[in-house]
Structure 1
Amino acid sequence: MCLNELVQTELDDLVRIYKHLHANPELSNQEEKSSRLIAEQLEACGVTVTRNFGGHGVVGILENGEGSTVMVRGDMDALPITEETGLDYASTIISTDNSGSKTGVMHGCGHDIHMTTLMGTARVLSQCKKKWNGRVLFVAQPAEEVMSGARSMIEQGLFKKFGIPDYCLTTHVLPKLEAGNIMVKPGPIMAGTYQLKITVRGVGGHGAIPQECIDPVVLAARIITSLQTIVSREFSPLDPAVVTVGSIHGGTKANIIPGQVVMEVTARFFDSKGHDHIFESIKRICKYEALSMGIPEELLPVVELDEVNDLPATINSKYLAEIVRKSAEGYLGVDKVQEAVMLMGSEDFSLFRTAVDKEIPSCLFFTGATSAEEMALFHEKGINPPSLHNSRFCPPPEPTIKTAVTAMAGSVMSLLS
């Protein structure tokens, strides 16, 4: 049986599993039931499974003689969003987040598709072992949304215990790309990122006597304005980068000048040069804006890097991107494979590429996740389909899963044939 026929045979049951996952989402670091389901499904395919690795992570190994090792990764966690799709399998789950607050939970970023793709790929590969030789490492990763899951698995010894793969593959659903299509490109495909906390300090006092204070609110405003010149005046217009101040907190009352203001900043970039340039510029701006307001050295702003959220860019191997492209063109059709564009979103999949001394060739391809009807509205009337992290995001299951599994399994077989 050829790959397309095999995927079609498995599709109804994969959609059933997908709908179960969609209706039962779990927040980051709470993926207990999802990981159990994945482990059971992998074991049913003859995969040797290790559970609860790096949190609720699952690692499976499918051996088939001598050959290279390909890692296939799928992430598991959902988002603190109350679903508004109206689907008959919509999530009604209410959970408690890490801060102790109650929240609705939904798969608003397609990780239910990613999990189903992982299991579907295992089913297909286990049934057509005559067409490939080698080893497939299945990695169901927790906590992608909080950018800690890949790091946790690596730090627990993922590649020391299970071996360093020769190649790493993953997919991510993409709105504004019709289901049935994929996108791939060599080189940078998703941005690197980090987050900073900036504590702006001053001298508090009464709002009526500002001359006896040093106002950190004013200093914070000056810093925010100056930070916008990093990308607009220090980067080439052809070099993508973003600096965003997404949170600012300070003060308790209109007539009180506070002692400090706390800001949270995210940066996006595509190489280590951009990473370092933004960081050094932020520190420089904070220091000299403060000095210009007369802030003493001991009260200069404190800039803290959140190392957990410090991720390199996702960079696709030229060789792997070409393998994925050719394989998908063969199984899906040439017209179903498009050239991807770089996105400023980030993925901790990028950490697997840089986890050991030598760079591991890696590739992330995008799987279309929007119905033909919604794409027609977009093209004809400019109505955007629901984006990722939107309460109405709902990929059409059959064509999305069929495409993702076909492209992933086909790519693995091409690498191991």
Structure 2
Amino acid sequence: MTQLTVSPDKRRKIIEQFFPDPHQHAAIYKDLHRHPELSCQESRTASIVSARLETLGFEVQRGIGGHGVVGVFRNGEGQNVLLRAELDALPIKENTGLPYASKVEQIDADGYQKAVMHACAHDMHMTCLLAVAALLRDAREAWSGKLICLFQPNEERLLGARAMVDDGLFWRIPFPDVCLAQHGVPTKSGTIALKPGRVLGYLHSLDVRIYGRGTHGATPQLGVDPIVLASSIITRLQSLVARELDPKEPVVITYGSFHAGTDASIIPDYADFKLDVRTFSEKTQQLAVAAVERIIRKECEVSGAPIAPRLATVVSSPAIDNDEAATSAFADVLETYYGDRASEVIQTMPLDIVADDFVLLAMPPGVKQIPYVYWNIGVTDPETWDEANRDGKLRDLPCTHNATYAPVIEPTLRTGIEALALSALTFLELR
């Protein structure tokens, strides 16, 4: 993986001359936003992106690791550059008030029908990648190499990247020299944030079942109440952060789901909850996960649970550490491209304790890790962000995984297209 030295104006000319139709891609964005699909159910979305890639002349493969789609544009000798976007949406009922808001409902993996929404900007990520595919296809006389556009399923559950790799991804495509991805966040639209080194954290997600002994609600002494026990565990686990782990090491333990029982008068046989453990340090992550499992098992034991708890690891994802050389090369290209505006557009990406399984696309089994760069683009209307910043109310802006989260189309779309195109043009050979 190398950056190629070219005239400072060459990339600018490519972007300006071949920038794709913004109205067409705004329409694509609205369609994707209006028709979200849950993880492992992204059939319509996959069909939309694969049809568009085929129209652009890409070699397209579908159904990789689920509904994963990969398009390859072979354009002579040069490096193999992989760009990633995500297909899936979230089980959230949209409350943005947009004319293109989602009204979709789907039956989720747990058997329940749920409202569905793109509340994590995956619709914007896909639109930007499709636009860059068009831009670089049209500019094919100006570069050489192989462009790999990958649309990953099941990212929200952090299982799609591994599924694609396990399904032979690296046997199906030219082996990448560099992997690139961006993510929309609720910062000021028109900005790009990146930095070398660690930018995202570790994640370990558990499904837990606590067993009790069912009885009438009027005779709790005859049973073991799994709701009280599970509630006690949930409260007790927060003491890990306060009392067991190093206060200099950030740790987040979150419970996003709790289900138990059928009626107020019935103490049920079990209670289920889901939890995430997130940190920035591998050692701290291991300590935290071990402590979580220890506390759950011991609380059940001392409470007289008739069966040991069931703990199932749903996903375990490593941290994201941007490659130093690749990130520096991309940052230099951004600085040159934006020139006098660089200080207002380019920011330092803050360390964020969220996780993304993009990193697994750069970790093929039995092979040295592929260099990768992951960065953020802002999606919040600039005037709205400036006002909130002046009033000290940035925390009140809609955040990801929220029913009111809605990227402003412009300048988000233009900035996302520029950033993704420039990232590819950092490593493709320019003619």
Tell me whether 1:184 sits opposite 2:194 in the alignment: yes
8 Å Cα contact 1:184-1:338 kept in structure 2: yes
Match runs of 1:113-262 below 5 Å: 113-175=124-186, 177-203=187-213, 205=215, 214-251=224-261, 258-262=268-272
In structure 1, distance between residues paired with 2:59 and 2:66: 18
Counterpart for residue 400 of structure 1: 412
Deviations 1:21-58 (A, max 9, x none): 22232332232232222222222333211123222221
Match of 1:28 among 23, 26, 39: 39
Deviations 1:76-111 (A, max 9, x none): 122233333333333333444445544433322111
Partner SS state of residue 28, structure 1: coil
8 Å Cα contact 2:18-2:139 kept in structure 1: no
Match of 1:337 among 342, 346, 350: 346
Tell me whether 1:84 sits opposite 2:71 in the alignment: no
Structure 2 CA distance for partners of 1:355 and 1:226, relative to 1, 3 Å: farther
CA deviation after TM superposition for structure 1 residue 208, in Å: 6.5
Tell me whether 1:55 sits opposite 2:66 in the alignment: yes
User: How high is the sequence identity, in percent, across the aligned residues?
Assistant: 36
Partner SS state of residue 59, structure 1: strand
Structure 2 CA distance for partners of 1:391 and 1:139, relative to 1, 3 Å: same
* Segment of structure 1 superposing worse, 35-44 or 209-218: 209-218
Counterpart for residue 294 of structure 2: 284
CA deviation after TM superposition for structure 1 residue 385, in Å: 2.3
Structure 2 CA distance for partners of 1:252 and 1:101, relative to 1, 3 Å: closer
Gaps of 5+ in 2: 1-11
8 Å Cα contact 1:28-1:143 kept in structure 2: yes
Aligned partner letter, 2:313: L
Structure 2 CA distance for partners of 1:328 and 1:94, relative to 1, 3 Å: same
Partner SS state of residue 279, structure 1: helix
Match of 1:365 among 375, 400, 421: 375
Match of 1:313 among 319, 326, 335: 319
* Segment of structure 1 superposing worse, 264-273 or 118-127: 264-273
Aligned partner letter, 1:125: L
Aligned partner letter, 1:121: V
8 Å Cα contact 2:249-2:281 kept in structure 1: no
Partner SS state of residue 123, structure 1: helix
CA deviation after TM superposition for structure 1 residue 283, in Å: 2.2
Tell me whether 1:353 sits opposite 2:359 in the alignment: no
Structure 2 CA distance for partners of 1:274 and 1:130, relative to 1, 3 Å: farther
CA deviation after TM superposition for structure 1 residue 5, in Å: 1.2
CA deviation after TM superposition for structure 1 residue 135, in Å: 1.5
8 Å Cα contact 1:219-1:293 kept in structure 2: yes
Gaps of 5+ in 1: none
Deviations 1:359-379 (A, max 9, x none): 222221101101112102311
8 Å Cα contact 1:370-1:396 kept in structure 2: yes
Output the TM-score relative to the length of structure 1. 0.89
Match of 1:303 among 287, 290, 311: 311
Aligned partner letter, 1:329: E
Deviations 1:324-380 (A, max 9, x none): 322222223322110111222222212212232322222211011011121023112
In structure 2, distance between residues paired with 1:402 and 1:102: 35
Counterpart for residue 3 of structure 1: 14
In structure 2, distance between residues paired with 1:96 and 1:273: 38
8 Å Cα contact 1:57-1:153 kept in structure 2: yes
* Segment of structure 1 superposing worse, 325-334 or 117-126: 325-334
Counterpart for residue 388 of structure 1: 400
Structure 2 CA distance for partners of 1:222 and 1:100, relative to 1, 3 Å: closer
8 Å Cα contact 2:335-2:346 kept in structure 1: yes
Deviations 1:160-219 (A, max 9, x none): 2214312111111011x2111111122222222222133333455566766665554454
